[in-house]
Amino acid sequence: MLEASFLNLSDRRPAEGTVSVWPAWEVRDGAGATTWFGVRLEFGDGARVDAHAVVTGGCVSIEDVRAEPALSLDDLAALADWIEGPLFDACGIGSVPDGTEPDTGEPGDADAAPSGAGSDWPGGVEGCRLVAQQYRAAQEQGIDPVLAVMSATGHGRRKSLRLIGQARDAGFLTRRRARR
C-alpha cells in the first residue's frame, strides 16, 4: 500500500518521460570553475523530479533532489540512469572522441580505471601522439580536452595535464603561450 505513494521509476519506460538540463550558475576561481545544473525529469501523468547537479574537476554529483510523488530508495538509485546521458551532454563530458564513456569516479564504474591509477596507455612518443589525438578530437567536438584525455588514459587530472604537457613538449600540440 505504501508503494502507491512513490514514483516507481523502475516501472516506467524512457519514452514516458522527458529530461531537461540547463545551467543554473557557475563559480570561478583561479584553478577552474564549479558549475551547477538544473535537471528536471517530467512524466505525462504529472509526476516530476527536480535536481541540482554540480560539476567540478570532471566529476558530476547530485546535490539536491525533489520529487512529486516522493522517490523510494530504489527510485533514487534508478534516477541516475534516467538523467545520466542528458546531464553529461549538457556538462560537455558526454562520450569522449574514442566512443568510451567518461570516468565518473563512482565506485560502481567497473570499466573505468580509478583516478590516478595506472593503465595500459603507452608511454613515450606513442603515448604523446595518442594524447594529442584525443586532445584535438575533443576540441573539435567542443568538449573539454582534459576530460577526454583523463577518460582515455584512465589517469587523474594532474597526470593527464602532465601527459598533455609532454605532448606539447614533444611538438604534437601547439604551445599555450608564446615564449619571450
Task: Judge whether 105 and 59 are in contact, CB under 8 Å.
Answer: yes
Across 155-164, average pLDDT: 85
Residue 59 has pLDDT above 90, yes or no: no
pLDDT at residue number 40: 92
**What mean pLDDT value characterizes the chain?**
76
Side-chain-facing half-sphere of 114: CA atoms under 13 Å: 3
Burial code (b: 16+ CB inside 10 Å, e: under 16) for 91-100 equals bebbbbbeee
Q: Identify residue 83 by its one-letter amino acid code.
A: I
Residue 76 confidence (pLDDT): 83
The H or E element that residue 7 is part of is none
What cell numbers appear for 133 in the block? 589525438
Residue 171, C-beta contacts closer than 8 angstroms, at least 6 positions apart? none
The tens digit of pLDDT for each residue in 13-54 reads 777 888 888 888 888 777 677 888 899 999 888 889 999 988
Residue 50: predicted pLDDT: 93
What local confidence, expressed as pLDDT, does residue 89 receive? 79
Provide the percentage of residues in the chain whose pLDDT is more than 90.
8
State how far the Cα of 103 lies from the Cα of 5, in Å rounded to an integer: 35
- Write down the pLDDT at residue 6: 78
Q: How is residue 6 annotated by DSSP?
A: B
pLDDT in tens, 66-109: 998 888 888 887 887 788 788 777 777 654 334 444 444 433 33
Whether the per-residue pLDDT at 115 is higher than 70: the answer is no
Look at residue 79 in the predicted model and tell me its pLDDT: 84
pLDDT value of residue 180: 57
* Residue ranges covered by each domain of the chain: 2-91, 113-180
**Residue 113 neighbours by CB under 8 Å, 6+ apart:** 103, 119, 154, 155
Pick 146 or 122 by higher pLDDT. Answer: 146
pLDDT of residue 93: 64
How high is the pLDDT of residue 102?
A: 45
